[in-house]
């Protein structure tokens, strides 16, 4: 259990680090956009090579597709609820929340799967750790920057991302504890759930925000992020 908790903390730490970095100073819009674009590319690679490909090999298309649909639906509904509350509060309080919501809905099933693997005796590769860092950090930096721009105080931003990180880290321990009862279908469905939530978040929030901030270089940054994360996913360590 201690090992699963340690790896859970390692996987969730970039979320808090991103909030800290965003709060240190006001970063240029163009730089934040590049970071978001890079993170979006990394997440696309994560969906393709880690969540979808591994899920397909593990449990086949049916539980994977069902998970994708459920993850997309849950994110869509939760994001609409956030938007309604934001409209009542004037909008500022919800700046950056879609990225945090996406990180939560992605991080929980992803780290549950990590816990399953640890319980089964599978090692954690350096490539996986770096890939988690590359994808999680830009989400947190971008969301935190938006929250701060929307008038949310630094302690509150740090609190939001600390809460997300704690839930994600504990999910690894939960996955370790439930490994014996989690069927292949459930594990595959969790991969799909994370992929579905991420895809909607990318199209609705992360990519448009990267384009708004970085403009003409957002696409190039996305390609670089994809190339790095895809390379890490396919090179054994």
DSSP-derived secondary structure letter, 25: S
Distance CA 95, CA 84 (A): 13
DSSP H or E stretch at residue 159: helix 154-178
Task: Give pLDDT, residue 127.
Answer: 62
Distance CA 106, CA 127 (A): 18
The domains of the chain are located at: 2-234
Alpha-carbon Rg for the chain in angstroms: 17
The answer to whether residue 95 scores a pLDDT higher than 60 is no
Digit-coded pLDDT (tens) for 124-168? 656 667 777 877 898 899 889 888 888 888 999 999 999 999 999
Distance CA 132, CA 106 (A): 11
CB atoms within 10 A of CB 5: 15
- Which residues have a Cβ under 8 Å from the Cβ of 163 and sit 6 or more positions away? none
What is the phi/psi pair of residue 166, to 5°? -65, -45
Tokens of 232: 């890490």
Task: Provide the angle, in degrees to the nearest 10, between the axes of the packed helices 97-119 and 126-149.
Answer: 160
Task: Give pLDDT, residue 64.
Answer: 95
Distance CA 22, CA 156 (A): 13
The answer to whether residue 26 scores a pLDDT higher than 60 is yes
Tokens of 190: 């969790």
The answer to whether residue 225 scores a pLDDT higher than 70 is yes
Digit-coded pLDDT (tens) for 31-77? 999 999 999 999 999 899 888 998 899 899 999 999 999 999 999 99
Give the pTM: 0.86
DSSP-derived secondary structure letter, 91: S
The answer to whether residue 111 scores a pLDDT higher than 90 is no
Average pLDDT (82-97) is: 64
Task: Give pLDDT, residue 128.
Answer: 64
- pLDDT higher at 42 or 82: 42
Digit-coded pLDDT (tens) for 175-209? 999 988 889 999 999 999 999 999 999 999 899 99
Task: Give pLDDT, residue 213.
Answer: 92
What b/e readout covers 175-211, taking b as 16+ CB neighbours within 10 angstroms? bbeebeebeebebbbbbbbbbbbbbbbbeebbbebbb
Task: Give pLDDT, residue 123.
Answer: 64
């Amino acid at each position: 259990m201690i090992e699963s908790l340690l790896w859970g903390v390692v996987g969730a730490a970039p979320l808090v680090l991103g909030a800290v970095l965003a709060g240190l100073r006001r970063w240029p819009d163009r730089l934040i956009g590049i970071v978001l674009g890079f993170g979006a590319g990394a997440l696309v690679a994560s969906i393709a090579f880690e969540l979808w490909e591994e899920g397909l090999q593990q449990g086949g298309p049916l539980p994977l597709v069902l998970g994708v649909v459920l993850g997309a639906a849950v994110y869509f509904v939760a994001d609409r609820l956030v938007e309604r509350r934001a409209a009542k509060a004037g909008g500022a309080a919800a700046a950056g929340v879609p990225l945090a919501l996406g990180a939560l809905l992605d991080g929980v099933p992803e780290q549950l799967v990590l816990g399953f693997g640890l319980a089964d005796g599978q090692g954690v590769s350096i490539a996986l750790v770096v890939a988690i860092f590359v994808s999680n950090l830009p989400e947190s930096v971008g969301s935190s920057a938006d929250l701060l721009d929307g008038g949310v105080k630094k302690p509150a931003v740090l609190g939001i991302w600390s809460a997300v990180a704690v839930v994600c880290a504990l999910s690894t321990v939960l996955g370790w504890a439930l490994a014996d009862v989690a069927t292949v279908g459930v594990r595959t469905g969790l991969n799909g759930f994370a992929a579905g939530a991420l895809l909607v978040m990318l199209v609705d929030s992360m990519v448009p925000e990267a384009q708004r901030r970085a403009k003409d270089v957002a696409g190039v940054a996305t390609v670089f992020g994809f190339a790095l994360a895809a390379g890490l996913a396919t090179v054994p360590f």
